[in-house]
Copies of this chain bind each other. A is one copy, B any other.
Amino acid sequence: MNLVDRIRTAIFDGDLAPNQRLIEADLCAQFGASRSHIRNALTDLVGEGLVERIPHRGARVRAITLAEAIEFTEIRMVVEGLCAAKAAQAVTEVGAAMLRSIGERMRHHLAAGDLLEYSACNKELHTLIRRISGQSAAGDIIERIRGNLTRHQVRLALRPGRAAVSLPQHLAIIEAICDHDEERAEAAMRAHLRSVIEALKNAPR
């Protein structure tokens, strides 16, 4: 695992808290790396939007506000909507089978009450749709955005009742794509993410 990933993980896990100052010398000790490597890793993370840097004043973990999380999810909404539409156009029988299989697993995990597995399938589904769509540029953008959202979204996915709401939405997306119905696929994806946005707005803090 390279240094950038390790620091990113530390941020996600809360080992490096939001707004915490990231002093290069400390990170050297913490991650056992030389200062130049830490430095390069930090500039990478600045590019990803996970870290904020002020010249001569050092870096800190960027705190994402709820408003920003909503903005990012709005962008996800339209971009993933585009991917869903293109996926509906491009999907093959093999792809359709994989989508349906994920749908089945989601249904199963929800019934079993295994929210972590359900959440993993959720991520898998979105990734697969992007892959089927062939929109590789979108993948990069979404991945970049996702980094900024992880903290908010993990909390969301595990909220009681949330999975029960999202399952039918996911199944609708899958069905529309398998039917090669671009418009319905885009609409279903947007409806799904609009519901995520609503849930975010109603989130406790």
Q: Interface residues, chain A, CB within 8 Å of chain B?
A: 40, 43-44, 47, 49, 68, 71-72, 74-75, 77-79, 81-82, 86, 135-138, 140-141, 145
Going nearest first, the 8 A-B pairs with the smallest beta carbon separation are A47-B47, A78-B78, A71-B137, A78-B82, A72-B137, A71-B135, A75-B138, A78-B79
Q: Which of A44, A47, A136, A140 has the most CB of B within 10 A?
A: A47
Q: Is the interface of A mostly helix, strand, loop or mixed?
A: helix
- A72, closest chain B residue (CB): B137
Beyond A71-B136, A71-B137, 16 extra complex contacts between A and B, CB < 8 Å: A40-B43, A43-B43, A43-B47, A44-B47, A68-B137, A71-B135, A71-B138, A74-B86, A74-B138, A75-B79, A75-B82, A75-B137, A78-B79, A78-B82, A137-B145, A141-B141
Kindly provide the distance from the CB of A155 to the nearest chain B CB, expressed in whole angstroms: 20
Kindly provide the distance from the CB of A191 to the nearest chain B CB, expressed in whole angstroms: 15
Chain B residues with CB under 8 Å of A78's CB are 78-79, 81-82
| Bound-state Cα–Cα, A49 to B86, Å | 23
Partner of A44, one of B43, B86, B137, B145: B43
- A39, closest chain B residue (CB): B40
| Bound-state Cα–Cα, A131 to B81, Å | 23
Chain B residues with CB under 8 Å of A43's CB are 40, 43-44, 47
Chain B residues with CB under 8 Å of A68's CB are 137
| Bound-state Cα–Cα, A82 to B82, Å | 12
Kindly provide the distance from the CB of A79 to the nearest chain B CB, expressed in whole angstroms: 6
Chain B residues with CB under 8 Å of A72's CB are 137
Kindly provide the distance from the CB of A141 to the nearest chain B CB, expressed in whole angstroms: 6
